[in-house]
Amino acid sequence: MTTTTVQSEKPGPAAHDKRNPVAAFFRQREIPVAAALVALVLITFAINPLFLSPQSVKDLLLNATIMIILAVGQALVIITRNVDLSIGSIVGLVAFGTGSLFNIAPGMPIPLVFLIGIVFGGLLGAVNGLLVTLAKVPALVITLGTMYIYRGILSTWAGSKQYFSGDNPKEFGNLSVDTFFGFPIITIMAVVVVVIVAIVLGLRRGGRDLYAIGSDPDAAKLFGIPTGRRVMAAFIACGALTGLAGILYASRYNSVGALTGSGLELDVVAAVVVGGVAIFGGSGTVVGAAIGAVLLSTITSSLTATRVDKFWQQAIVGVLILAAIVIDRVVSIRNTRKLRVSEARDV
Amino acid sequence: MELFQKFGGSGRRSNARRIASVAAIAATVALVATGCASGGSDTASTDSAGGDSPGSIVFLPKQLNNPYTDVVLGGGDTAAGEIGFEASTLGPLEASASAQVPFIEQATQEGANVIVIAANDPDAVGPSLQQARDAGAKIVAFDSDTNPDYRDVFVSQVVAKDVGLVQLEMIADQIGGAGDIAILSATATATNQNEWIKYIEDELASNPKYKDIKLVTTVYGDDDADKSFKEAQGLLQSYPDLKGIISPTTVGIAAAGKYLSTSDYKGKVALTGLGLPNEMREFVKDGTVTEFALWDPAQLGYVAAYAGQALLDGTITGAEGDTFTAGDLGEKEVGADGIIIVGPPTKFNAENIDDYDF
């Protein structure tokens, strides 16, 4: 039953998988996004060969890293037909908290700082999850509220105090620049996160339940899925990943303060939607969301590298979002029709 | 649309649950509302101006929670304390042209005697400043000028031309007098940055000393750390022969410094401009930045507050040649166009940076 619910979004490809793996591959939601990304990189490279110089590639990967982690967390929540708008504020709180930690205890081991940041983010996510599941208030409203509350707490806490990268231990700052066989370490971290979450979401029961909940919350409940607990878990996971992103933010940028991370939430939701995760929940993958994040952050860099007016950038992102939604609608309408035909045949 | 649907809504819910959800919404609303209220109460407290107070002064910086602004306002508060003004600060969290307007209106309604403003846009704030003047307030522009029609005096850090030229001198020194340079500025509409850039461009065109230096582009990081960071990346990517960057804004120079210090370009591409010593110390010590400049921002706020007092008690009217005493900083004179100059810019480098803490 769980699987049927999930497949209702893309039954066509599933049915054809065995017969024609190539066609099935091209029908994946991630493919158009990935193709757009490759095209973007190649075109930019043709115009400005420096775009793929080692330093630029490193910059591209580093720019995308934080967005990838945020997009994975957000995708988890959106798949359950919820949304978390408070993540920008969580990034700010955790990033500023990281600065404060190093300020209080300069010798603190870095893994411990990571642990504290992730737990802190998870707690903030749990507040969202609790309000959404226990109080049964729509996530859009709840997280809009917590977005302002968290930001308010941060503004009070930070005031105009800022922590500069010079205040942090050198090793912490280096973390976001050091490479391992040419790949930045934090990008490898993000890829590991994507893989782990993709496996849980795709193969584990709890992960599949998230799709069932997003497809049809009532049916999921009737079927006996502990919807409250699953949604709660999605919010906590999103908060924890956002916490991780907050720590990386503190390591990457030169200062953290009251405004850190503001406005990030919409960029992240945009990345997730562009990556093929349906805003109504129930379909999409974290791999898609991650590619969407890379695509959006690469657009910024490639428009700068080709010296296109920066003011075009937002318009282009808007067009991409609309395109993603149109593709999503077309696919789901076609699938519904196919499903109806095949069911009629079965009878 | 479905986002608005209650999660797991079955339609057959007990009253108790419905009450719980209403309570939760109410609690959220209350939390948000109290958050707003507590923010507002700080400013509301200024209404109760004492009978003996010489008046009330409202500072309207470009943006709150900005470390530079904080130092400026610190100086303003010191002076307001010495004078006995009821001081308060109002301002937007983001540096945008229209965001300041509601705060000017608020200050007018509260009956502020002096409004000290750093304009995000010289004209956008005009009509509301005019209303404030009609209501009897004196307008002191500082840091970034408004259109002269809308203010009584403008307190400038330094002579705008000097600021432009000192940055050009520093970059010329650091790149050996020849090569491509670029400018990483704040917003495209920022009054003071645009003025300095204009002086830099004019000097490049007219002074034979700089004939081998070419300004290839000016980009805008909008005084946002993340955007400025990426603009710095873009500059180096688009202009492989770039020798130096001038960033006439504290956010821009720090973001560019962070990027350069962590990239292959460290030490190869020079960076200078206007920065805060505390924010730049790391980059000066690690060799990314050789020298940059700024004035003492606290003096700016300090003089602005005293200029407000002098306008209020009639010592000056904003006419050229008027003089007043700005507390510990001594006598200041109003120049042409109602501009008051605080002092010359200070250069910071590895030798003197530890003497400054702001």
Q: What is the pLDDT of residues A159-196, one digit of tens each?
A: 878 888 878 888 898 888 888 887 899 999 999 999 99
Q: B240 and B266, same structural domain?
A: yes
Tell whether B289 and B166 lie within a shared domain: yes
Most distant pair of Cα atoms in chain A: their distance: 70
Residues 6+ positions from A204 with CB-CB distance below 8 Å: none
Give the list of residues 6+ apart from residue B236 with CB closer than 8 angstroms, or none.
A55, B242, B263, B265, B269
How far is it, in rounded angstroms, from Cα A128 to Cα A112? 25
In angstroms, what separates the C-alpha of A119 from chain B's closest C-alpha?
23
Identify whether residues B177 and B202 lie together within a single domain.
Answer: yes
DSSP letters for A222-267 = HTT--HHHHHHHHHHHHHHHHHHHHHHHHHHSSEE-TTTTTTHHHH
* Of A324, A35, A179, the residue nearest B263 (C-alpha): A179
**CB interface of A with B, residues 278-317, below 8 Å:** 279-281, 300-301, 304-307, 310
**Tokens coding A296:** 């959006």
Place of tokens 């990426």: B230
Residue A80 host element (H or E): none
Q: Which of residues 178-217 of A touch B (CB under 8 A)?
A: 217
Whether residues B172 and B285 fall in one domain = yes
Q: How far apart are the first and last CA of chain A?
A: 19
Contact of A87 with A238, CB cutoff 8 Å: yes
Looking at the DSSP bridge assignments, the partners of residue B291 are B349
CA of A132: which chain B residue's CA is closest?
B7
Domain contains B347: no
Instruction: Give helix B15-44 / helix A110-134 axis angle, nearest 10°.
Output: 120
Do B151 and B164 share a structural domain?
no
Contacts 24+ apart (CB under 8 A), B34-37: B35/A148, B35/A149, B35/A152
Contacts of A173 in chain B (CB under 8 A): 262
Give yes or no: residues B86 and B204 share one domain.
no
- Domain count across chain B: 2
Query: Of A219-228, A239-248, A303-312, B147-156, which one has max mean pLDDT?
Result: A239-248
Q: Is B312 found in the same domain as B254?
A: no
The domain that holds B276 is classified in CATH as 3.40.50.2300
| DSSP label of B58 | E
Identify whether residues B222 and B259 lie together within a single domain. Answer: yes
Which residue is closest to B282 within chain A, CA to CA? A166
Structural domains present in chain A: 2-346 (1.10.3470)
> Does a structural domain hold residue B20?
no
Does any domain span residue B36? Answer: no
Element (H, E) at B137: none
Residues 6+ apart with CB under 8 A from B278: A164, B67, B356, B357, B358
Q: B305 and B85 in contact (C-beta within 8 Å)?
A: yes
Residues in A closer than 8 angstroms to B64, CB to CB, are: 160
What letters, b where the CB count within 10 A reaches 16 and e where it falls short, cover B41-67? eebeebeebeeeebbbbbbbbbbbbbb
pLDDT tens-digit series, residues B129-147: 999 999 999 999 988 888 8
Q: Does residue B40 lie in a domain region?
A: no
Q: What is the rounded distance in angstroms from the CA atom of residue A71 to the CA atom of residue A62?
A: 15
Contact at CB, B32 and A148, closer than 8 angstroms: yes
pLDDT digit string (tens) for A313-324? 778 888 888 887
Q: What pLDDT does residue B96 have? A: 79
CA of residue A264 relative to chain centroid, distance:
11
Are the beta carbons of B62 and B68 closer than 8 angstroms? Answer: no
| Per-chain mean pLDDT for chain A | 87
pLDDT at B46 over 60: no
Least confident interval from B1-10, B63-72, B259-268? B1-10
pLDDT band at B41; cut points 50, 70, 90: very low
Nearest to B237 among A50, A131, A260 (CB): A50
B185 is a domain residue: yes
d(Cα A70, Cα A78) in Å, to the nearest integer? Answer: 12
Examine the pLDDT at B174 and tell me if it is beyond 90.
yes
B7 within some domain:
no
How would you classify the pairing of strands B179-185 and B153-156?
A: unpaired
Pairs from A98-103 (Cβ < 8 Å, separation ≥ 24): A98/A168, A98/A246, A98/A247, A98/A250, A98/A251, A98/A256, A99/A162, A99/A163, A99/A167, A99/A168, A99/A250, A99/A256, A100/A163, A102/A163, A102/A167, A102/A168, A102/A169, A102/A172, A103/A163, A103/A167
Residues from chain B that touch A283, judged by Cβ atoms under 8 A, are none
Q: Which long-range contacts (CB under 8 A, 24 or more apart) does B128-136 make?
A: B128/B101, B128/B104, B129/B104, B131/B104, B131/B105, B132/B104, B132/B107, B132/B108, B135/B108, B135/B111
**What is chain A's Cα-based Rg?**
21
How many angstroms separate the CA atoms of B138 and B243, rounded?
46
Q: What is the nearest CA distance from B151 to chain A, expressed in angstroms?
A: 28
Residue B104 lies in a domain: yes
Quick: pLDDT tens for B213-226. 999 999 998 888 88
Q: Which pair of structure tokens corresponds to residue A227?
A: 């919807």
Residues of chain B in contact with residue A228, where contact means CB-CB under 8 angstroms, are 8
The predicted complex's ipTM stands at 0.74
Query: Does residue B24 belong to any structural domain of this protein?
Result: no
| Contact criterion met (CB below 8 Å) for A162 and A256 | yes
Cβ-defined contact of B3 to A257 (cutoff 8 Å):
no
- Please check whether residues B150 and B186 belong to one and the same domain: no
Mean pLDDT of chain B: 83
Partners of A155 on chain B (C-beta within 8 Å) are: 65, 93
Residues B189 and B143 in one domain: no
Owner of token pair 């609608």: A329
Asked if the Cβ–Cβ distance from A59 to B233 is below 8 Å, we say yes
Q: Structural domain of residue B92, as residue ranges? A: 50-157+297-342
d(CA A258, CA A155): 5
Pairwise CB contact (< 8 Å): B262 & A177: yes
- Please list the residues that pair with B60 across neighbouring strands: B117
Helix axes A54-79, A286-305, angle to 10 degrees: 140
At residue A26 the predicted structure's pLDDT band, cuts being 50, 70 and 90, is low
- Contact B355/A at CB under 8 A: no
Given pLDDT bands bounded at 50, 70 and 90, which one contains residue B28?
low
B350 within 8 A of B284, measured Cβ to Cβ: yes
B344–chain A Cβ distance below 8 A for any pair: no
pLDDT band at B29 (very low <50, low <70, confident <90, very high): low
Final residue in a domain of this structure, among B261, B294, B327: B294
Instruction: Of B40, B100, B96, B95, give the one whose Cα is nearest residue B68.
Output: B95
Q: Which residue has the higher pLDDT, A115 or A15?
A: A115
Q: Are residues B276 and B150 in the same domain?
A: no
Q: Do A59 and B240 touch (CB under 8 A)?
A: no
* CA atoms within a 13 Å half-sphere pointing along the CA-CB vector of A321: 16
Distance separating alpha carbons of residues B191 and B147, to the nearest angstrom: 10
Q: How confident is the model at residue B35 (pLDDT cuts 50, 70, 90)?
A: very low
- Neighbouring C-alpha atoms within 13 Å toward the C-beta of A143: 29
Enumerate the β-bridge partners of residue B331: B325
